[in-house]
Structure 1
Amino acid sequence: MGSKEKDVVRRFYEIIGEGRPEALDEVCASDLVGHAGAGSNLADLKASIASYVAPFPDLAAEVRHLVQEGNLVCVWLSYTATHRAEFAGVPASGRHVKFAAWDLIRVQDGKIVEITQYCDLFTIMGQIGALPTAAPA
């Protein structure tokens, strides 16, 4: 079952998958409030997403679950990508990554007005070789 709010949220992830964080104005309010990984406003959100798109140009989001209550949409995602440029000080490794993310998004009048983002950065860093591996027993 669809809803207008869920449609806006799905479009948000399509824009990310297109590698066009600058186009988020299409679905985000200019006075957006961000929390955690989203930064504090729309400019921060665009910069945060750009910081993943640049090193992972094939970044793709698979929306696993969208749960809505009123105008709040909770999203569980799986991202996949290839590490093609420096990320968090780690040079391009060419490694494929897969990591989870959870977002809580508030939609009002057809636009995202508030977003809280969490992604599994620890898993990304391990997969691109930035963390030591466990020693064999």
Structure 2
Amino acid sequence: MTFVQLIECRTDRFEEMNRLIDAWVEQTKGKRRATHDLVGRDRSDGSHFVELVEFPSYEDAMRNSNLPETDRILGEMVALCDEMPVFTDLDVVRDEQLYADAVRRFFDTLSDAGELPPLNDLINEGCHSHDPVNPQDTIGLDAIRREYRMWRDAFDFTFTLEDLIAQGERACARWTWKATHKGEFLGIAPTGRQVTMTGMTLFRFGPDAKIAETWWQQDQLGLMDQLGALDALER
């Protein structure tokens, strides 16, 4: 079970505290069990800091605590605090990856039959979309929706998410796209062919928790080959 240690302290010497944390990260490289370390400052009290350190389990946290580097850094941290830090040990009983869920809803929405919805609950109005297939970035929700409609007019398709990783403000999906070619696509008349394409999309989320930027990489050449667009070049 994932374990989180919450450490609360009061100090006016945060820059020194920050350097201590950097030193701990450097000195415990290859030995520490912690997987994530987050420090927050209380907006209503600038001397109140909260640190959350995540471990795969309570046992891993205890092994981490027994490192000589951890013990030494802890002593120096206490010396920087106005009073003794408060430690709270937490077993994680729920861990929602909200950005990963947003990515799943994004791909499901693109695949749904019928009219394409506004997407303003998922995508920021000023979103930037980077796709090597396009000579220029697609900027703005309206322009991005037009591009999605072009794909939906040309194909009936579904996405299968093979891998999905979320970290910080970014998420990355590796996907397989399966489609039926039903409409004109890049000058190619509908063929009725069943086609498959693999690719990856990196998402950056903005402060409003909506998609603010995307980077697409896909096997466009393989798709064109399946549609017969390369046949003339091979003759």
Range into which the TM-score falls when normalised by the shorter chain? 0.7 to 0.9
Q: Give the structure, 1 or 2, with the largest relative contact order (CA under 8 Å, sep 6 or more).
A: 1
Counterpart of 2:129 in structure 1 is 34
Matched, 1:110 2:204: no
1:81-96 aligned at under 5 Å gives the runs: 81-96=179-194
Equivalent residues in 2 for 1:61-80, closer than 5 Å: 61-80=159-178
Cα RMSD after superposing both structures: 2.0
Letter in structure 1 aligned against 2:149: A
How many residue pairs get aligned? The number is: 134
Percent of paired sites with the same residue: 25
TM-score for both structures, normalised by structure 1: 0.87
The worse-fitting range, judged by mean Cα deviation, of 40-49 and 5-14 is: 40-49
Preserved CA contact (<8 Å) 1:34 1:42:
no
Deviation at 1:30, TM superposition (A): 1.1
Summarize deviations over 1:81-136 as a string: whole Å, max 9, x none. Answer: 1001111111111100000121110123331111112222111111111112867x
Gaps (5+ residues) in structure 1? none
Aligned partners of 1:24 and 1:117: how far apart in 2? 18
1:15 aligns with 2:114: no
Residue 95 of structure 1 aligns with an amino acid whose one-letter code is R
CA contact (8 A) 1:125 1:131 kept: yes
State the alpha-carbon separation in 2 of the partners of residues 116 and 25 from structure 1.
19
Q: Secondary structure at the match of 1:47?
A: helix
Contact 2:126/2:139 (<8 A) preserved: no
* Equivalent residue number for residue 48 of structure 1: 147
Greater Cα radius of gyration, structure 1 or 2 = 2
Tell me which of 119, 125, 128 is aligned to 1:24. 119
Distance 1:59 1:41 in 2: 24
